[in-house]
Amino acid sequence: MISNACGVDFGTSNSTVGWLRPGAPTLLPLEDGKATLPSVLFFHAEDPLVSYGRAALADYLAGYEGRMMRSIKSLLGTSMMDDSTEVMGQAMPFRKLLAHFIGELKGRAERAAGREFHAAVLGRPVHFIDEDAQADQLAEDTLAEIARDAGFRDIAFQYEPIAAAFDYEAGIGDEELVLVADIGGGTSDFSLVRLSPERAKKLDRREDILANGGVHIGGTDFDRALSLASVMPLLGLNSQLRNGKAMPSGQYFDLASWHTINLVYTRKAWAIVMDNYRDAAETEKLDRLIRLIKERAGHWLAIQVEAAKIALSADPRTTLDLGRIAPDTTLDITRDDFDRSIDKLVARTASTVQGMLKTAGVAADSVDTILFTGGSSSVPMLREQLARLLPAARRVEGDLFGGIGSGLALDAARKFG
């Protein structure tokens, strides 16, 4: 049976669209035959062309003049959602930026499927915003409005870790109590779910979901922590002014966060940097910062840091080439450096799981499986912490980038036919 609806996983770092039909892959190809479309836009300066995904990253790295935007999902539920940003000399509402990307995602999925989609199940984190129910609901409502503006008439939402559970459930033979650990670009989401082939036949799965929990910590937060600890000190963070006071840190936090990098290029930010330069005790570090700003290389640097994070998930050390902003300069970073930088973030993530188990009244040793999904779930320190919390559970790696989209497609078929 071919489904009439699709599942849309609009992610902080990558996005997918799933469509259930027999004898074919669930995930639709969105860019160059690949199922993932990086959640990136690049607005060209010299023409009205907008690039998306890998093409957007390639255009930016090739040196085209323009404006790159990434991790725009992080804006949902924040006060920035009602603001605008300058794109090619004009104010563009952040809401319109998201609409650009969601519309492109829908259009590419429809071209790949050879049909239009009017119904969709959209994935959402357990919490868009931590400890603020009103802001969290506003984020979901805003995303629904943007999806309707893109042409979806019938919309439902599903927690992303539940969607990953549905995808995993399609391949098991016995009942399991599963902790789904979905560590994405912007959030860490967890669900405790009873799964089995028999339970999969039920339309209403509410009684099988024992608990949900989440915290607004994800891969982009790991990037920021690593950048602030290892890279930004080379640009002046933690240095001193001549009067003995600490160097102001605002510009470094903006540079280390994907969705605020462009704030460093404003006239106001430039004036602050130059004021700091005049008072700096170590001007050579500020020289690197100034060169980065002049070359608008903030996203380039963030890409280097992200690559280092990925490398350190597999290797004990890696080296960053910083020659673009500091000639003949490299930086060695070890796994221990990375672990120290994210220690508090991982501890908060682990405590979220502990609290969820307590709320559900489930003993840690009764969990059969930890299902890891999401691109940032491969961080070793995070996996080790969760394994210590649930010592009897076997560790299973789902489809890190496609499991949620596939699960959303299953849910869409159940809900909309």
Determine, yes or no, domain membership for 321.
yes
User: Structurally, how many domains does the chain consist of?
Assistant: 3
Which residues, listed in sequence order, are joined to residue 13 by a DSSP beta bridge?
none
**What's residue 259's pLDDT?**
85
State yes or no: pLDDT of 52 exceeds 70. Answer: yes
For the chain, give the mean pLDDT. 93
* Digit-coded pLDDT (tens) for 103-119: 999 999 999 999 999 99
User: In percent, how much of the chain has pLDDT > 70?
Assistant: 100
Q: Which of 291, 311, 340 is the last residue of a domain?
A: 340
For residues 33 and 109, membership in a common domain is answered with yes
Question: Residue 73 maps to which CATH number?
Answer: 3.30.420.40
Q: Which of 340, 368, 385 is the last residue of a domain?
A: 340
Pairing of strands 369-373, 394-397: parallel
**What's residue 134's pLDDT?**
92
For residues 12 and 150, membership in a common domain is answered with yes
Determine, yes or no, domain membership for 264.
yes
For residues 62 and 135, membership in a common domain is answered with yes
State yes or no: pLDDT of 408 exceeds 70. Answer: yes
For residues 249 and 378, membership in a common domain is answered with no
Determine, yes or no, domain membership for 168.
no
**What's residue 67's pLDDT?**
87
Angle among Cα 334, 337, 340 to the nearest 5 degrees reads 150
- Residue 381's pLDDT band (cuts 50, 70, 90): very high
Determine, yes or no, domain membership for 60.
yes
Among 56, 47, 147, which residue's Cα sits nearest to residue 95? Answer: 147
Q: Residue 286 sits in which domain range?
A: 220-340
Burial class (CB in 10 A: 0-12, 13-18, 19+), 391: exposed
**What's residue 1's pLDDT?**
67
Report the b/e string of 102-120 with b at 16+ CB within 10 A: bebbbebbbebbeeebebb
Q: Which of 298, 313, 340 is the last residue of a domain?
A: 340
For residues 197 and 225, membership in a common domain is answered with no
For residues 98 and 209, membership in a common domain is answered with no
* Digit-coded pLDDT (tens) for 166-200: 999 999 999 999 999 999 999 999 999 999 999 98
User: In percent, how much of the chain has pLDDT > 90?
Assistant: 79
* Digit-coded pLDDT (tens) for 339-358: 999 999 999 999 999 999 99
For residues 305 and 372, membership in a common domain is answered with no
Angle among Cα 243, 248, 252 to the nearest 5 degrees reads 145
**What's residue 90's pLDDT?**
81
State yes or no: pLDDT of 46 exceeds 90. Answer: no
Burial class (CB in 10 A: 0-12, 13-18, 19+), 134: exposed
What mean pLDDT comes out for the span 222-231? 98
**What's residue 2's pLDDT?**
83
For residues 12 and 123, membership in a common domain is answered with yes
For residues 291 and 385, membership in a common domain is answered with no
Tell me which range, 47-56, 109-118, 208-217, is most confidently predicted by mean pLDDT.
109-118
For residues 13 and 145, membership in a common domain is answered with yes
Amino acid identity, position 264: V
For residues 39 and 153, membership in a common domain is answered with yes
Q: Is 157 helix (H, G, I), strand (E, B) or coil?
A: strand
Amino acid identity, position 308: A
pTM of the shown model: 0.87
For residues 10 and 144, membership in a common domain is answered with yes
Structure tokens given for 152: 């979806």
* Digit-coded pLDDT (tens) for 269-314: 999 999 999 999 999 999 999 999 999 999 999 999 999 999 999 9
Determine, yes or no, domain membership for 166.
no
**What's residue 105's pLDDT?**
97
